[in-house]
Amino acid sequence: MKVGLIQQKNTADSAANIEKLKVNIRKAAREGAELVVLQELHNGLYFCQTEDTNMFDLAETIPGPSTETFGALAKELGIVLVLSLFEKRAPGLYHNTGVVLEKDGTIAGKYRKMHIPDDPAYYEKFYFTPGDLGFEPIDTSVGRLGVLVCWDQWYPEAARLMAMRGAEMLIYPTAIGWESSDTQEEKDRQLGAWVTIQRGHAVANGLPVISVNRTGHEPDPSGQTGGIRFWGNSFVAGPQGELLTVFPNDEEEVRVIEIDKTRSENVRRWWPFFRDRRIDAFGGLTERFLV
């Protein structure tokens, strides 16, 4: 199966961002992509650098304007499309939500981000209610997609539960980068950890991993920090953690990668981690901490 990844810089002009996305989605489809994955909160800037109640005006319902716009494009191109939207569920109730559109433009399913960070320049707990849909794969014409979102990518439990429920691949729309005051050594450690943990999910579960990050610098509206330089580095790993493609840090790019879904069956026969799991001894995983 051919998968298109779109790594893009964003501005405050949402209409322009969406038009650029549509151009890039068309490019991926022309190159044979059957599945196209977009980065986290792809319609605009990463607004979580500050806590500002006006930012809630950016949220939209699902179904809503974005699912209508991108659904029409998915239908026109005959592709499955993974979106990442700021969902308005009800007054005062908002989620960071992944939405999968089927080839006919309909909504195949959605996933609400479960793990919500609250760090300097990533004040997501102010905006997003933790997801309540669980770790459920979404069935599509191109396979069972284990869609997770950004901060979820650090949690092996999330990846494992998606795999246990039959996901054929793990997909992570992402918005992560460096704060300007970090040393180069610290930046290298952060990026290395980010790639390593996700490759580990591929290995532990015998599944491909698709991680799509944004790139470019976005200033801090408050001026208290130097803003975030998103580190790009979108990548695809195979079911043994092998890197099938790695994007540059600081460039926009559209790339189509072929994934052999049959490899998961073979890899799980060679490395039968699911067979050997000691599920009788894992009860402690449901606790916050053990002493």
* Catalytic residue IDs: 40, 113, 150
Rounded Cα–Cα distance for residues 211 and 169 (Å): 11
Q: Which residue has the tokens 């998961």?
A: 264
CA 202 to chain CA mean position, Å:
15
Residues in the chain: 291
Do residues 52 and 141 make contact, with C-beta atoms less than 8 angstroms apart?
no
Rounded Cα–Cα distance for residues 16 and 37 (Å): 19
Rounded Cα–Cα distance for residues 134 and 129 (Å): 13
Q: Rounded to 5 degrees, what are φ and ψ at 156?
A: -65, -25
H or E element at residue 141 = none
| Nearest CA among 37, 59, 46 for reference residue 11 | 46
At residue 234, what is the residue type? Answer: S
Contacts 24+ apart (CB under 8 A), 54-60: 55/127, 56/88, 56/94, 56/127, 58/14, 58/86, 59/86, 59/87, 59/88, 59/94, 60/85, 60/86, 60/87, 60/88
H or E element at residue 252 = none
